[in-house]
Amino acid sequence: MDFLSSLTPPAWLPFVVPPLFGAVIGYFTNYLAIRMLFRPLNKKYILGLPLPLTPGIIPARRRELARRIGEMVGDHLLTRAVILERLQSPAVDDALYRWVAGRWKAVVDADCGPPLELIPDDLRAAWQAWWGRGWRPVYQFVNWVVEHPELKSFLRIPVSQLLGRLLESELKSFLTPSQKESLRQKLHIIIEHAATSPTLKKRFEKELDELGRKLLSAEKSLGEILPVDLQSALLNELHRELPTLLVRFSRLLYDPEIRSRLKTKLYQGISVYIENMGFWRRLITSLAMSDDEIKLKIDQLVDDIAGDLAASLQQPEWQAKIFDLLAERLAALLAMSPAMISGRLSFTRVERGWIFFRRKLLAHFPLSYWSQKLKPAAEPLWDYLEQQTSAGILEKLGLTPNRDVLTERLVDRISQLLRSRRVKRRLAAVISRRLNDWLHKQPLGRLSHYLPGSVHEPLTTFFYQLTRRCLAEELPQLSERFAVKKVVEERINTLPVEKVEDLLLGIMREHFTYINLFGALVGALIGVGQVLLFYVSAR
């Protein structure tokens, strides 16, 4: 007792305990109230007596909750006006357009098989049964078309237009490129056979000899005869090729075989010269230098001269001097006339030279070459004929065409041919076979190959507008038929209570926490009020 009496509470404890207990009581009171919304899930009994407030409010009144939520969704959230307004919003419009564009692109870019594969499976059997009768449906269609009373009237206008175009068209429009090429080749063959005949060959040689005589007797200079461009081309070609030729020539001087030949020729020449000298000169020469010494000196001299000459030929200065010398000689040659040049030579040399030149010319340019050159001469004739119209050719032949009469005759003839049994059967068979092959064997491929790029965007817009209009007209009616309120109510009633609890807690968990804290705050304030009341009363 002395110990307990010695334990005196702190002075501040009466001021802290009431607010603290009030906060704890307020917090757990709100927490318990919130939990009683969902718990317990079932009716509870004690000694056979039902406990009040069991089950919780949500489990006990879930059907009413489901009904109210269904009414809220069906009558206020997902109404016809809301659906129409949502469909007309920019976001939905943009999403719908992208969806339609994507579907359209997937359709046109897909590789399609034969058209028969595009027929739905439930209709394919009926199609096969109808088409399996052979070409009879096609024959009936062809017979209906060609036996129609208005066939002649239908044919008259296009036949008249076609006849007018034929008469007014140039001849070249009637021939296909292959036909034109075939006729040209035949004409070329005729020209080639004529050009390579022996008679023409003799005539060509005679004319060539006459041309050669005139050229060799010409008094004009070669510079006047040859074109200026050709002369410039010769000089340019000489200037371009001369360094390469001189370099190649200088390389030949380094060739041991070439040098050996030069040494041999020079030694033979000196030997002959010494042999032609008199006795005393030969004696003096033999006493001054032996044959071996002479040969050695010749070898050294040839090696030195060949090396110096080869090095000089590779220098640009020497090449320029040689080019100037050759250009000067070429200018002097061009200043001379063919008659002057041939006059300096004997008649035999001129004749042999001309025969050699003619033989080389005929070898390089045979008559087959000249026949190829003559083939373009037929082009003007082709051009003249191709530029003439059919009516113009008939008028030049004295035949003036009557278009009306020709049109009627052609219409009658075409009608008779089309209405003959043989032609109808033939048309039906051809159309049936081609159509059957196309339906069963010909893959369509990508539809984008058949559609111009300029129509893709308009078609996409058209299908988008069609889809948007269908949705605006049908979706509100479908939503009413769906009975949204009933569907929502049934779905909520079929959900487990735990799912409903999780759904509501997931939405309001944070708010429930604040409610609990607010209860703690209220309890604490009540405790503070009690402390203040006791304090005032004590005084």
Query: pLDDT tens digits, residue range 212-230?
Result: 777 767 777 767 777 777 7
Residue 140 has pLDDT above 70, yes or no: yes
d(CA 425, CA 323) in angstroms, rounded, equals: 86
Spatial CB neighbours of 217, under 8 Å, sequence gap ≥ 6 = 338, 339, 342
Residue 381 has pLDDT above 80, yes or no: no
Residue 242, helix vs strand vs coil: helix
Residue 276 has pLDDT above 70, yes or no: no
Residue 280 has pLDDT above 60, yes or no: no
Is there a contact between 103 and 456 (Cβ–Cβ < 8 Å)?
no
Rounded to 10 degrees, the C-alpha dihedral 276/278/281/286 comes to 60
Is there a contact between 169 and 390 (Cβ–Cβ < 8 Å)?
yes
Would you kindly state where each structural domain of the chain is located, as residue ranges? 131-169+389-442
Is there a contact between 460 and 101 (Cβ–Cβ < 8 Å)?
yes
CA 532 to chain centre: 92
Lookup result for tokens 């041999």: 264
For residue 1, the model assigns a pLDDT of: 46
**What is the tens place of the pLDDT at every residue in 320-335?**
777 777 777 777 777 7
Spatial CB neighbours of 468, under 8 Å, sequence gap ≥ 6 = 87, 93, 96
Percent of the chain with pLDDT over 70: 54
**What is the tens place of the pLDDT at every residue in 36-95?**
766 766 677 777 776 666 666 666 666 776 677 666 666 656 666 666 666 667 777 788
Number of helices and strands (H, E) in the chain?
27, 4
Residue 4 has pLDDT above 60, yes or no: no
Say how many C-beta atoms besides its own lie within 10 A of residue 407's C-beta: 19
- Residue 427 tokens read as 């048309």
For residue 289, the model assigns a pLDDT of: 55
d(CA 286, CA 294) in angstroms, rounded, equals: 10
d(CA 22, CA 531) in angstroms, rounded, equals: 11
**What is the tens place of the pLDDT at every residue in 79-112?**
666 666 666 677 777 887 888 888 878 877 777 7
Spatial CB neighbours of 138, under 8 Å, sequence gap ≥ 6 = 428, 431, 432, 435
Residue 309 has pLDDT above 70, yes or no: no
